[in-house]
Structure 1
Amino acid sequence: MSKGLFLRQSFTYFWLFNNFLILFLDRKHLLDKPGIDGEVLLIGNFILMVATSLSFVVSQRSLRSANPGASVRSLYGSFMIKFFVIAIAAFIYIMVAKKNVNKPALLICMGLYLVYTFMEVSSLQKLLKQKKNA
């Protein structure tokens, strides 16, 4: 994936906006009242962005292939990459934090996962439409 294409993806802008918002809210202590740990959100957001980027690259490369089986394999492969990266990160956090697990932050990260997945799929659909029209 070229640098320009990566910077034009909507989830890149979403990630930047999210990080600035989380940092602003954490700095103003607005996340303390509902009991949300800003560090967990920032790290979770970063992990989600990395996993989504890897998944997007794998799926995007399959669009170049003439083999329809490659698309299916890449779809499953990108799902597995994202699932295991996020599952391992959550497992490590839960094991390290033990009883101090911040459940609201984990729930927000789950919501961010859904948003990133939606944005990834919509970006891939746009690329697929461009490929069909070309």
Structure 2
Amino acid sequence: MGKNKLKGFLPVIIFFIALNGFFISGKNMLNRWGVDQEVVIYGNLLLFLLTLFSWLLAQSGLKNPNPHAFIRSVYMSVMLKLFVCMIAAFIYIAINKSGLNKPGLFTCMGLYLVYTFLEVSLLMKVLKEKKNA
């Protein structure tokens, strides 16, 4: 990954590291709230990787002189992230029918929104900085 791409993605990386630090160090607090630590750590990792892939797709779309290529890459990344998260949730629900951790699942849903908001706000910032946007 290039230096410029990493610089723009840095807030997401910091957010991911801070959240994992909280999830690892706050195991007792998560247990009091009824949140399974493994569910939120794996959910956070999945969302981070999907956001990274989505960011890279958007960056490649920005390099293309055709503005429709950027729009297609953003739509594709949003749909991919949504469907992968839905499939992961369905797999988790199917495997853990009796021991389903709803607070952990709802936490991951909230994290999905936060990662999506972060990605969109960073893309808007990159678009404003781009001279021909």
TM-score past 0.5 threshold:
yes
Structure 2 residue matching 1:31: 3-state secondary structure = helix
CA RMSD of aligned residues (A): 1.7
The aligned counterpart of 2:6 is: 6
- Flag the 1:124–1:91 CA change in 2: closer, same or farther, 3 A: same
Aligned equivalents of 1:63, 1:133: Cα separation in 2: 10
Q: Is the 8 A contact 1:9 1:123 kept in 2?
A: no
The aligned counterpart of 2:70 is: 71
Cα shift at 1:3: 5.1
The aligned counterpart of 1:17 is: 18
The aligned counterpart of 1:95 is: 94
The aligned counterpart of 1:132 is: 131
Cα shift at 1:4: 6.0
* TM, length-normalised to structure 1: 0.91
Aligned letter for 2:23? I
Aligned equivalents of 1:40, 1:34: Cα separation in 2: 13
Aligned letter for 1:82? K
Aligned equivalents of 2:113, 2:48: Cα separation in 1: 12
Q: Which runs of 5+ in 2 are unaligned?
A: none
Aligned equivalents of 2:94, 2:127: Cα separation in 1: 40
The aligned counterpart of 2:82 is: 83
The aligned counterpart of 2:33 is: 34
